Amino acid sequence: MKTDILKTEEAIHFVKQTFELELKHELDLTRVSAPIAVFKGTGINDDLNGIERSVEFPIKQFSDRKAVVVNSLAKWKRIRLKELEIDSGKGIVTDMRAIRPDEDYSPIHSVYVDQWDWEKRIPKYSRTLEYLKLEVQKIYSALRKTEIKLNDKYDYYSEQLPDKIHFIHSEELLQKYPTLRPKERERKIVEQFKAVFLVGIGHELSNGEPHDGRAPDYDDWSSKNEDGFIGLNGDILLWNPILKDSFEISSMGIRVDKDALMTQLKKRGEESRESLFFHQLLLNDKIPCSIGGGIGQSRICMFLLRKKHIGEVQTGIWDESLKEQLCTEGITLL
């Protein structure tokens, strides 16, 4: 048993190291250090779906001013692009660690989040669906190359990713499966194509509901794209043959400009955020146009190493009864 765990730990390290190198090469990224927390009330921390609580704590050195553990670094990275004077077409990537206390536990969720948070500076004319798709294809290429190298190193794995990733807008998916709920629609399309980029997450569809929630101040989910649909963002979804389900590995998109920010804040009733530090930087043209996202480290390891539970690829806080139950199924949590 201990030998199996050590082999898994070695394979986890190999996957993370290999994928990061491939990602940096494909997207022209430089690895930078990442914060674990930022000051509360600056607008820098991400609000995800807008309802999750953040972990917060006082800092004695700053007269007990509150800081919050980051949820992700979407907005922090845009500021960092400016501070580091990153050239257009190049970007940064971080090893982001977070605690999300409102996550519902499942085989693919825990309170601990580890992801590659990346951001790339782009010219304003690249704020298009065509450019978004090009960057998605590069990420997918990095994933396929990682899978090939993993299979070369450990001959007990086999390739499962298709040659290409399929693109579809969430409105098209709704029209294709009008009677199904969003996650059911995802499952259908991903089972068919095995690798899908679902475009347009956050804006209301023709049924009056968004496919899923997005915070109003990082991805652009309100601009009309050249295909005639709404949104310049999306999710990378893979078919997981172990779980027999759609498996999200990344949420990403072209970031809001001034117009998209104001539109999305108004739609969410969050106009008060305009006065926050980050939002003022954006509204006063002090941070660059960019594209970026997060790619789940544990999710990538789960998928490539054929694991059934996220606790097999990350250490975490687990109920003892769950650990005992999984052990009877041959699943050992780290």
Whether residue 47 lies in the annotated active site: no
Write down the catalytic residue from 20, 22, 46, 171: 46
Pick from 110, 152, 96: nearest CA to 302: 110
Catalytic residue among 78, 100, 127, 214: 100
Catalytic status, residue 248: yes
The values of phi and psi at residue 280, to 5°, are -65, -40
Residues 84, 107: Cα–Cα separation, whole Å:
38
DSSP, collapsed to helix, strand or coil, labels residue 236 as strand
Give the up-direction half-sphere exposure of residue 243: CA atoms within 13 A in the CB hemisphere: 22
Residue 165, SS3? Answer: coil
DSSP string, 66-128: EEEE-S--HHHHHHHHHHTTPPTT-EEEEEEEEE-TTPPPBTTB-SEEEEEEEEEE--GGG-S
Residue 251 catalytic?
Answer: yes
Question: Which residue is catalytic, options 135, 235, 246, 299?
Answer: 235
Q: What span, in angstroms and rounded, lies between the C-alpha atoms of 261 and 278?
A: 11
Q: Kindly name the residue from 54, 72, 110, 115 that is annotated as catalytic.
A: 115
Among residues 248, 257, 270, 274, the one annotated as catalytic is 248
Active site residue 54: no
Q: Is 10 a catalytic residue?
A: no
Catalytic site residue 264? no
Residue numbers annotated as active site: 46, 100, 115, 235, 248, 251
